[in-house]
Amino acid sequence: MEPVVAARADWLGEALGMVLSESSSLPLTRRLYRALRDWVQSGRLASGARLPSSRRLARELGVGRNTVLDALDQLVAEGFLEARPGAGTYVADLPFSHLEAPAQETSDDPSPAAALSARGERLLRLSGAAAGHHEAFPPGVPALDRFPDELWQRLLRRHRRRAPEAWRDYRAEGGVPALREALCDYLRLSRSVRCRPEQVLVVQGAQQGFELIARMLADPGEAVWMEEPGYGGARACFEASGLSLVPAPVDDEGLNPARVPAGHGAPRLIYLTPSHQYPCGVTMSLARRLALLEAAEAHGAWIVEDDYDSEFRYGQRPVAALQGLTEAARVIYVGTLSKVLYPGLRLGYLVLPAPLVEPFRRANARLHREAQYPVQAALGEFIAAGHFSRHVRRMRECYRQRQALLRRALAPAVARGLVLSEGQAGMHLVAWLDDPAHEAALVERGEAAGITLSPLSGFYQQAPGRPGLVLGYAGTRDEEILRAGRWLAEAWLARVDGVDRRN
């Protein structure tokens, strides 16, 4: 049996109830006494834990109060429990309770082996290491310390207070109407997305949206074109739904539909990041957008447009979303608040073509349930009252400066041949390398120096990927950008000098 309590014995009644429900010829008092004594001795009932009153235990166990009192009195008399007049009964502070507890935990673990499904094993391979990341340079992490938390907490409190009782229930309405309207206004104006509030389905992050799309629109074994290199999170969702992933090469105009390898059958889905390709950073050209729309039409495929960070453009004019290009486009637009606000918020949204609205809303409510209505309402006000656009402007400026800082720190390396991506947008830069062994060595040495260097080759589905480093700067404080950037520049120079000396 699992440990019963820590400092409080809130669930003791349930635990003792299970003991009494087992068949035994012993009297009730004896069985209560034994169970409590064993749990004190083994440390499951922690020293100092306060027991519920005898009256409450008797009521919860459906036995006479004297039955409980007799057992407790005996344990007090033997020193296992301590009666504090006027304060209740407590587990005594006994040395053996600490000594015996670990012995139990180190005994042979009887849990069944973790035999995962083949899908589970594939998913795990796509899930990376369990370890966390360092402050520099994890990709995709926003400036968490710059979030206007006080204002946000105020809005949250207000909307929690006002939340109608109906919001405590199961619902299937696609999200809070005020948020869907606010998102629609924002998307129509800032991203040229064609949408009405009914088309917006609020989900718990883009990932959940990808999973829902995969399950609703493609059957196991059907093909999905994925940008190569591309976003591993989306890949994991499609993989977990049993789809067959087809790498679609990306060049400096974005995904090229003409270069997708043949022999995989018509795709059911085409996933891409046209505004700011992840991780290479290119913006898809108009010619390619039109070619892609045509290819999707010809194959009867749905396009999944992941517009994850297009708010952050520096200098360049914003590029309209692919979804808005034509009237009847077969595009599902996916947005997330993980980059503009923060990932722990777990909010994202889909803008669905009209025929998919009702099926997706119902399936989402069935599969994942709708969640966090007061948070959605607070976000609706955050957007409608202009806080959102203000925050985006502030973060755009912050990230522009952080990118400049990273470039400054890397300048000595750039002067000696290190090539960086253009960085016209987004939250990371790519440093291109030409040797896979160099990539691996830098990643390993970076880890030892407390720096996360994400290998570009890891963003490829098919080996060998092009070597490089993906350097997220948005969520890294200025001092750390300088420290880690200088470290990387020195590592580059040391290699160049070493190579030069050898030549």
Ligand X SMILES: Cc1ncc(COP(=O)(O)O)c(C=O)c1O
Contact call for residues 92 and 82 (beta carbons, < 8 A) = yes
Q: Which is nearer to ligand X, 203 or 481 (CB)?
A: 203
Determine, following the binding rule CB under 6 A, whether residue 138 of this chain makes contact with ligand X. no
Determine, following the binding rule CB under 6 A, whether residue 177 of this chain makes contact with ligand X. no
Backbone angles phi, psi at 223, to 5 degrees: -90, 140
Determine, following the binding rule CB under 6 A, whether residue 343 of this chain makes contact with ligand X. yes
H or E element: which one contains 110?
none
Q: Which is nearer to ligand X, 350 or 405 (CB)?
A: 350
Cα–chain center distance at 66:
53
Q: Which of 138, 205, 274, 485 binds ligand X (CB under 6 A)?
A: 205
**What six digits make up the tokens of 207?**
């990932």
Q: How many CB atoms lie within 10 A of CB 499?
A: 12
For residue 322, give every residue at least 6 positions away whose Cβ sits within 8 Å of its Cβ, in sequence order, or none: 274, 275, 284, 289, 292, 293, 303, 305, 329, 331
Q: Which of 306, 311, 370, 480 binds ligand X (CB under 6 A)?
A: 306
Q: Which is nearer to ligand X, 43 or 232 (CB)?
A: 232
Q: Which is nearer to ligand X, 140 or 274 (CB)?
A: 140
Pairwise CA distance, residues 74 & 77, whole Å: 5
Q: Which of 42, 273, 323, 476 binds ligand X (CB under 6 A)?
A: 273
Q: Which is nearer to ligand X, 232 or 267 (CB)?
A: 232
Pairwise CA distance, residues 225 & 254, whole Å: 13
Pairwise CA distance, residues 252 & 484, whole Å: 28
Query: Of 45-53, 202-210, 385-393, 414-422, which segment contacts ligand X by CB under 6 A?
Result: 202-210
Mind giving me the DSSP string for 84-98?
ETTTEEEE---HHHH
Using only the alpha carbons of the chain, give its radius of gyration.
29
Query: Of 127-135, 170-178, 201-209, 324-332, which segment contacts ligand X by CB under 6 A?
Result: 201-209
Q: How far is the CB of 345 from ligand X (least distance, A)?
A: 9
Q: Which is nearer to ligand X, 63 or 304 (CB)?
A: 304
Pairwise CA distance, residues 292 & 290, whole Å: 5
Q: Which of 140, 254, 380, 455 binds ligand X (CB under 6 A)?
A: 140
Determine, following the binding rule CB under 6 A, whether residue 231 of this chain makes contact with ligand X. yes
Contact call for residues 495 and 467 (beta carbons, < 8 A) = no
**What six digits make up the tokens of 60?**
């919860």
Q: Which is nearer to ligand X, 16 or 345 (CB)?
A: 345
Determine, following the binding rule CB under 6 A, whether residue 307 of this chain makes contact with ligand X. no
Determine, following the binding rule CB under 6 A, whether residue 310 of this chain makes contact with ligand X. no
Q: How far is the CB of 39 from ligand X (least distance, A)?
A: 43
Residues of this chain that interact with ligand X (CB under 6 A) are 140, 205-207, 231, 233, 273, 278, 306, 308, 336, 338, 343, 348
